[in-house]
Amino acid sequence: MSTAETDAQIINPDMPDVPPHSPSKINLKDYQKPSFDVDIVHLDIKLFDDHAQVNSTLEMTRQTASDVVLFGEDLELLSITMNGDKLAAEHYSQEAGKLTIHDAPDKVTLDIQVRICPQTNTALEGLYMAGSGADTMFVTQCEPEGFRKITFYPDRPDVLAIFTTRLEADKRYPTLLANGNLVEAGEVADAPDRHYAIWHDPTNKPSYLFACVVADLDVLTDTYTTSEGREVLLEIYAKSADIDKCDVGMQALKDAMRWDEVNYGRAYDLDRYMIVAVSQFNMGAMENKGLNIFNTACVLSSPETTTDARSFSVKAIIAHEYFHNWTGNRITCRDWFQLCLKEGFTVYRDQSFSADQQSSAVQRIDDVATLRAHQFAEDAGPLAHPVRPESFVEINNFYTTTVYEKGAEIVRMIANTLGPDDFRKGTDEYFRRYDGQAVTVEDFLSALSITDDKIEDFIDWYRQPGTPVVSGHQNHDSAAKTLTISLSQQTRHVSGFDAPKPLPIPVATALFDKESGDIVAERMLLLDQAAQSFVFENVESEPVVSLLRDFSAPVQLNYDYQDADLAFLLKHETNGFNRWQVTQMLVNRILLQGQGAKSSPDVYLEALAQTLPVLAADDAMLAARLLDIPSAQELASAIHKDYDPALVKNQRNSLYKQVADTLKDQLAALYATLPMQSYKDSAEARGTRALRNVVLDMALTADVDGAADWAQQQYDNASCMTERFGALKAMVNHQLDLADDYLADFYERFQANDLVIDLWFSVQAAADDVTPDKVTSLLKHADFDWNTPNRVRSVISAFSSQPTVLWTAEGLKIYTDVIKKLDDANPVLASRLVQVLARWNTLAEPHRQIAQDQLIDLQQNVTSKHVIESLDSVLGAADS
């Protein structure tokens, strides 16, 4: 599936005690093997107009002396037999979420019949109905614990079984899909209006990888021959109106299959690989064995309807889910605490794949920008947790950037420490040792350490929350011709965890000669103590030091740089990522002066003006990224007390205006060098479009003559969605006179395309001048759909990107009312919306009190364990 702060606990007499319905925690230290393994599963799912009947046969073998324990939620038990005999009531007990069978023999065959109602399942977990009318379909989402909403089962990732699935439904749903290979299909005897299909998956898998689809879909087909000579049928299923948007995804799938063979030696192992596009889906996509279920936003792409950023994301997510076939499916997690094992490694793999599809520097910028804006904020607040959590109430709450993105950064550090050859040896050993097993992080590190046993020291990165801060300075001895770099590390102590210890931190380092701008030395430093010094020999004159190149570790850097040093690196760094990184350091020094930073914008503006024209001609995408200014969320994560959203926004906007004004004389000429051309899907063309949109927005900010006309012309003559939406967004954010007319035109053009209408909602909800009344009107719009997470996020998540409106009484009332509404219907989505509010306790008054009052009110009006756990963390954690 894709700070130095106090640790004192908040004690507030006005805050209620933990509500009595707070569910209990599950702890990693309490892990026990399952009492019974499941060897073989036969499922028979019969779908009717108002319910489904699920008959399951489980062949089980005893592992421990305990009773058979099966999990089940929202199931009506119709019958249960064991080894052919109907079970008497005294032989089993049923309590909330669990069915226990007593006195079972060592070998058991259970036959269980249950009734479920997918038609009313709005949580989008288990088997549920998506869409309506002719677009109705039935799909599953079983990760992490959705299979227990289909039938009673030991629904945990360390129970692996062979599944055979029979699906039966009315013929108005001609598409019947499940995991594995199709064995048989036909008409149901004595029911000519119904048909069935039988699928068999020959690989052992946990129940969270089960999937089935009942629908009326078109299919795009292709084939791929693996490096082992297997011919694989590739199929992407979608509504007939969307099938022409599946070509990008199909090519990405073939590219990913080839990439995994070349880079990891991993070939696909079934005869068929299927992807199904679903509009109502909580996640981005799900890697179910041989039958991936995808949010439409993550698989459908066409130049006319999809921005470049979204299209590139489609390719990355297709690759991510495919890579899970080995890192997640064939080798899976022993328990859900090991979620980072499959997700962190797979994110690293998909990031590496994406870096091969475009500028590696730009890909690294994108990865790190996401990490800093979201994961660093998570680490800095009350939701901070280790990459491998030690406990949880609801595992859905831990599908976080810490688990995914920080987990990927740990794998990257290990890969960089080992080097490409030894890393490949380690991953080959991992696949050799553990294929077909459910394993732990320790198993992963053990395999990777075959050439370097110090790799096992990286286990503390998985156990310890918080973002390390690496500080340092340098000393050049001209007589000895040495440069000494002194580094130290410090991680804030997160309440409830052991005191942090020093971590192994790889620091990629280069020394630049101040006269020539050339690199005179390069080295990977390993900072694994609280403080260390590193000596470079034969350094004639004091150089400019570039640290953390390519972001070699997920840390904050506090090095004793002068502004002139950073400006020098902006001009001379050969590493594109580090050129971006030094601009971010300069910007943060300017914007966060109240947090101890101290810098004038003059050096930054002068260096940017000198660098941009040259870089724009060489790498337009990198040039566009060098103009980035950290988002309000990222800036807020660096402010630990008295955060004033309006002040931060005004400072950010003021700096952006200074940048635009500084470049004003260049913008018209630069825009003219970026003409609109016929659409091409290449890194160079995407870079041109990205830079054009940035230049257009800056030209409007700087009041460049004719810039408003540029926006209208770009919209009217656009060859793709990136150009059209970029122009529309600029017109809306700059409140141009014709903005409303163009919004109306955009809606009229694309009202039949749900994903494009999501853009129409989001550009208004995230507008610089958005008001609570505007958000309310969007929520009441005829096209707003509470049952479609994409649509909810298009308004609410976009709105939350404007903190000056969110952190007001009106804004928070709208936001928390949405959470209340979703709490029962879709608690997974509701809980994720809660987590956005985690930094409320850093706000300045009166915002802080307003937020606390709204959160307490919310806590008293929700019942799902998902939302309760998130609120308990947000309200009851350390005052950070």
Active site residues per annotation: 321
Question: Torsion over CA of 736, 738, 744 and 748, rounded to 10 degrees?
Answer: -120
Q: Which of 729, 725, 662 is nearest to 697 (CA)?
A: 729
Name beta bridge partners: 116: 52
Evaluate whether 691 touches 674 at the Cβ level (below 8 Å): yes
Q: Which of 173, 263, 165 is nearest to 205 (CA)?
A: 165
CA distances from 423 to 548, 655, 681 (A): 20, 43, 32
Separate counts of helices (H) and strands (E) for the chain: 29, 31
Instruction: Please tell me the total number of residues recorded for the chain in this structure.
Output: 880
Provide the CA 244 distance to its chain's centre, in angstroms. Answer: 26
For residues 449 and 514, give the distance between their C-alpha atoms in angstroms, rounded to a whole number: 39
SS3 338: helix
For residues 554 and 348, give the distance between their C-alpha atoms in angstroms, rounded to a whole number: 13
For residues 554 and 415, give the distance between their C-alpha atoms in angstroms, rounded to a whole number: 14
* Cβ neighbours, 10 Å, residue 329: 21
For residues 564 and 573, give the distance between their C-alpha atoms in angstroms, rounded to a whole number: 14
For residues 426 and 414, give the distance between their C-alpha atoms in angstroms, rounded to a whole number: 10
Q: Which of 535, 469, 475 is nearest to 505 (CA)?
A: 469
Residue 843 DSSP one-character state: B
Evaluate whether 726 touches 688 at the Cβ level (below 8 Å): no
SS3 253: helix
Residue partners of 715: CB distance under 8 A and separation at least 6: 723, 724, 727, 728, 731, 742
The dihedrals phi and psi of 470, each to the nearest 5 degrees, come to -100, 120
Provide the CA 503 distance to its chain's centre, in angstroms. Answer: 25
For residues 676 and 231, give the distance between their C-alpha atoms in angstroms, rounded to a whole number: 41
For residues 381 and 132, give the distance between their C-alpha atoms in angstroms, rounded to a whole number: 41
* Cβ neighbours, 10 Å, residue 283: 18
Place of tokens 């022409």: 244
- For 57, the token pair is 């046969």
- For 720, the token pair is 């793709």
Q: Which of 505, 535, 510 is nearest to 520 (CA)?
A: 510
Report helix angle 721-733 to 754-765, nearest 10. 20
Q: Which helix (DSSP H) or strand (DSSP E) does residue 774 occupy?
A: helix 772-779
Residue 242 DSSP one-character state: G
Residue partners of 852: CB distance under 8 A and separation at least 6: 12, 15, 840, 841, 875
Residue partners of 527: CB distance under 8 A and separation at least 6: 470, 487, 489, 502, 504, 505, 506, 507
CA distances from 219 to 91, 303, 319, 481 (A): 48, 20, 19, 68
User: Can you give the three-state secondary structure of 774-823, one letter per residue?
Assistant: HHHHHHCCCCCCCCCHHHHHHHHHHHHCCHHHHCCHHHHHHHHHHHHHHH
* Cβ neighbours, 10 Å, residue 567: 24
Name beta bridge partners: 112: 56, 80
* Cβ neighbours, 10 Å, residue 844: 15
Evaluate whether 523 touches 545 at the Cβ level (below 8 Å): no
